[in-house]
Amino acid sequence: MASLCFQSPSKPISYFQPKSNPSPPLFAKVSVFRCRASVQTLVAVEPEPVFVSVKTFAPATVANLGPGFDFLGCAVDGLGDHVTLRVDPSVRAGEVSISEITGTTTKLSTNPLRNCAGIAAIATMKMLGIRSVGLSLDLHKGLPLGSGLGSSAASAAAAAVAVNEIFGRKLGSDQLVLAGLESEAKVSGYHADNIAPAIMGGFVLIRNYEPLDLKPLRFPSDKDLFFVLVSPDFEAPTKKMRAALPTEIPMVHHVWNSSQAAALVAAVLEGDAVMLGKALSSDKIVEPTRAPLIPGMEAVKKAALEAGAFGCTISGAGPTAVAVIDSEEKGQVIGEKMVEAFWKVGHLKSVASVKKLDNVGARLVNSVSR
């Protein structure tokens, strides 16, 4: 069976499929998605498409950032997913069809209700009140599934932005994040620490969900910050990763982690890569429970720090390790040491890349006017 992005098997899909009507209106299906916030139409008059087709890109994201578990994330440059979206008269009005999936994985479902890009596209169409136009979507995956780099969020972000662009950019970034959250809720729970930076770029602090309250944190453009991303050839045991999370936190660890998250935010706003790395590296709650589940992770962190990284932790739920440094050259040396440690200690092959912050987020790459 084609997989729904990299949804955990513990979270079965269920959506409304009434027997009495073989082709219920698409929105009826969408409205029963198990999300905390239900998507509402936000535009008074149904917009017309301003383009025949658009191509969008959305970047990879690093969620958690150590002590920012479940409320901080950032986008990284140069890695990500592409969506090509076309007005397609052969597709039923108000619906989206997935024509093709290419790139790092093709085993994803082309059923739009079971595909991250499809779910986000449908949610965005619903917000725009699209009833008269059908769309077809091609997804090009640049990110591997289950790497801890926000693969599902990148697909969802690229799709949400593509729909918004093709209809003349009527929705703001918060609304696009809500559309993307419809997809994330299916994949890894209702958390915005990948989808928000995937759409908005830079660092984003998630302050609240009801109502959604996102705080972009701008890293100064004149300061240098590089992420060393090392992805091992290992499928992170998502279920175990979740089960490993403590439900109760000792007060002393709560105070520690909170103060480090606060320092991380100060470091971002002041452009202090050293302080940022130190804070990112200081998680006493989540990383200690998850790192032992990724072979070699503790040695990889040690190797990164010994090679001069300002800090290192698990990207998202892993297995990718992320280290922070202030130059690309140093980043490459650090990456080599991390790859070596994954191999020597974890017996895992891995691939390193050194990336800058992506300050733009999901964006239009090109478009064909009507």
**Residue 100, helix vs strand vs coil:** strand
Q: Give Cα separations from 309 to 54, 226, 232, 271 (angstroms).
A: 39, 10, 19, 16
260 binds a second copy (CB under 8 A): yes
* Residue from 97, 257, 281, 320 in contact with a second copy (CB under 8 A): 257
Which residue, 131 or 253, is less far from a second copy as judged by CB? 253
Asked if 212 is part of the footprint of a second copy (rule: CB under 8 A), the reply reads no
Q: Is 6 an interacting residue with respect to a second copy (CB under 8 A)?
A: no
CA atoms 213, 228, 349, 288: torsion sign: negative
From the list 19-27, 171-179, 202-210, 303-311, the region that binds a second copy by CB under 8 A is 202-210
Nearer to a second copy, 75 or 123 (CB): 75
Q: In this complex, which beta carbon is closest to a second copy, that of residue 74 or of residue 334? A: 74
Report the residue number, 162 or 261, with the smaller CB distance to a second copy.
261
Under rule CB under 8 A, residue 288 binds a second copy: no
Record the tokens describing residue 206, joined without a space. 């998630």
Q: Name the minimum Å distance from CB 192 to a second copy.
A: 11
Any known ligand binding at 146?
Answer: yes
Residues recorded for the chain: 370
Taken in order 93, 58, 182, 102, the sign of the CA dihedral is: positive
Q: What is the CA radius of gyration of the chain?
A: 20
Q: Does 234 bind a second copy (CB under 8 A)?
A: no
Burial class (CB in 10 A: 0-12, 13-18, 19+), 267: buried
Backbone angles phi, psi at 275, to 5 degrees: -65, -40
Q: Does 131 interact with a second copy (rule: CB under 8 A)?
A: no
Contact between 251 and a second copy per CB under 8 A: yes
Q: Helix, strand or coil for residue 276?
A: helix
Rank residues 38 and 258 by Cβ distance to a second copy and give the closer one. 258
Identified binder of a second copy from the candidate list 62, 76, 85, 265, rule CB under 8 A: 265
Q: Give yes or no for a contact between 195 and 180, defined as CB atoms under 8 angstroms apart.
A: yes
Please give the backbone phi and psi of residue 263, each rounded to the nearest 5 degrees, phi first.
-65, -35
Does residue 322 bind a second copy (CB under 8 A)? no
Please count the CA atoms within 13 angstroms of the CA of 356 that sit on its side-chain side.
Answer: 13
- With CA atoms as reference, report the closest residue to 73 among 180, 262, 183, 200: 200
Contact code string over 62-101 relative to a second copy, x by CB under 8 A = -----xxxxxx-----------------------------
Q: Which of 358, 361, 364, 360 is nearest to 83 (CA)?
A: 364
Report, in Å, the least distance between residue 61 CB and a second copy: 17
Count of residues near a second copy by CB under 8 A? 35
222, burial (CB in 10 Å: exposed 0-12, middle 13-18, buried 19+)? exposed
Site membership for a second copy, residue 210 (CB under 8 A): no
Residue 172, annotated ligand binder? no
84 DSSP β-pair partners: 55, 138
Report the residue number, 24 or 220, with the smaller CB distance to a second copy: 220
- Out of 26, 75, 117, 264, the only residue in the binding site for a second copy (CB under 8 A) is 264
- Closer to a second copy by CB, 275 or 345: give it: 275
> Taking a C-beta distance cutoff of 8 angstroms, is the pair 153, 61 a contact?
yes
For a second copy, which is the closer residue by CB, 310 or 342?
310
Q: Indicate the pairing of strand 135-141 with strand 72-87.
A: antiparallel
Decide: is 13 part of the binding site for a second copy (CB under 8 A): no
Contact by Cβ (8 Å): 193, 74: no
Query: Which window, 23-31, 96-104, 199-207, 227-235, contacts a second copy (CB under 8 A)?
Result: 199-207
Sequence ranges of the binding site for ATP:
143-154
**Interface with a second copy (CB under 8 A):** 67-72, 205-207, 215, 217, 245-251, 254-255, 257-266, 269-270, 275, 279, 285
